[in-house]
Structure 1
């Protein structure tokens, strides 16, 4: 039955797909025109591209006529290494000299013999050679810890050699000083007015102690060797200690006793 003029009859499949293809082609054409219209023209892209490509090549070195071209490899430096400042060298030298000197002074202004450095003393090769200070251990002991008013302290100094080689040590007052104090009061020292003939050189075998005894008559001694026999009868606590190149500052080199 034929369709009416207002409502045409069914469309064939071929006609249907042809219409779809024409619509799709039309849409693609519209999109292509839009993309082409949004692209910059060749005249606009040229200068912009040229300026953009020119910017990376610009560098501070290219503006400086004295700069080395990038292709040229820099020559190795031939400048000598920096030498130390003479002032620094002088300072280090003077500091080393001060540190390498004898020990400092105690509160009485008396030079502290300090401990010897093995590097400054050669190792002994025979018994008559002097012992190195670092190889000698000193100890000090009193025969009592408490003395009556008329008691005289006897202080024993002992030296032991730790080295394999037998060597010679001087236990005389010029080398090993016995100092007695009462608080800050310097009362007595065996080094006061000591003479060269007072040396006590003995040979020390390894591990065999050598002992010498000092009896203190409870009188004062003076650095200026004044002829005075002022007795130190003041009761109280006294500290005796050893000062020597052999001394290390150990508590074994001190002893405490009391006078009544």
Structure 2
């Protein structure tokens, strides 16, 4: 009977010792967890590097530091530089003669082929692209419309002009000046001495000239 009681007392003794040991281990684990969670930024970074179970990518603080270290942070925007809009020069006053560089000439034919007896008709356009209104001479002497066929000069508005042949116009910026011109299909000459002959069927080219300016060529055919 004593031997059985001794064994029972021994079991109770060892159970108590195991309970105390487990309690101590639990306290140690809790203290270790509290210390690790209360560590500051640099210590956490060091633990993450040495511990194989830690993942730096899951820590927002470490991810931000890594971003800055790699130079991927948003760069500081540079101040924008606004270029000044060109303004009219003091010498460019409204009403002065137009500069050739500010004028654009164009010529457009009514059609490409004219049958027998049909007179070719053209629209001549002058546009002022300068900063202010300017004046230009669009008379038959200053703004010449010339028709040629190969090297043959067929007709020109400067031939046989009576009077001064000037026509000053105010050209507003961007507002085209348009003139319609009809050719009677007859040749002209600078002398104007004899009756001009009628142009033969064939291919012809019309061009507008104004000082040093030239319009694109307009090609048409007479039948």
TM-score per shorter chain, which class?
0.5 to 0.7
Larger radius of gyration: 1
Aligned position for 1:144: 111
- Residues 59-70 of structure 1: matches in 2 within 5 Å? none
Give deviations 1:135-157, integer Å, cap 9, x for gaps. Answer: 10000111111101111011111
Asked if 1:241 is matched to 2:204, the reply is no
In the TM superposition, what whole-angstrom CA distance separates every residue of 1:10-41 from its partner, at most 9, and x where no partner exists? Answer: xxxxxxxxxxxxxxxxxxxxxxxxxxxxxxxx
TM-score by length of 1: 0.49
User: How far has the Cα of 1:130 moved from its partner?
Assistant: 1.2
* Residue of structure 1 in register with 2:67 after alignment: none
What SS does structure 2 have at the residue aligned with 1:219?
A: coil
Matched, 1:125 2:98: no
Would you say how many aligned residue pairs link Structure 1 and Structure 2? 134
Distance in 2 between residues matched to 1:123 and 1:213, nearest whole Å: 33
The match for 1:172 among 135, 139, 148 is 139
Give the 3-state SS of the residue equivalent to 1:198 in structure 2.
Answer: coil
2:187 aligns to what SS in structure 1?
coil
Q: Counting strand residues as a fraction of each chain, which structure ranks higher?
A: 2
Q: Tell me the secondary structure at the aligned position of residue 197 of structure 1.
A: coil
C-alpha change, 1:212 and 1:148, in structure 2 (3 Å) is: same
Rounded to whole Å, the distance in 2 between the matches of 1:221 and 1:161 is 31
List structure 1 segments (4+ residues) > 3 angstroms apart after TM superposition.
Answer: none
Written as runs of structure 1 = structure 2, the 5 A alignment for 1:188-227 is: 188-227=155-194
In structure 2, the gaps of 5 or more residues are 1-89
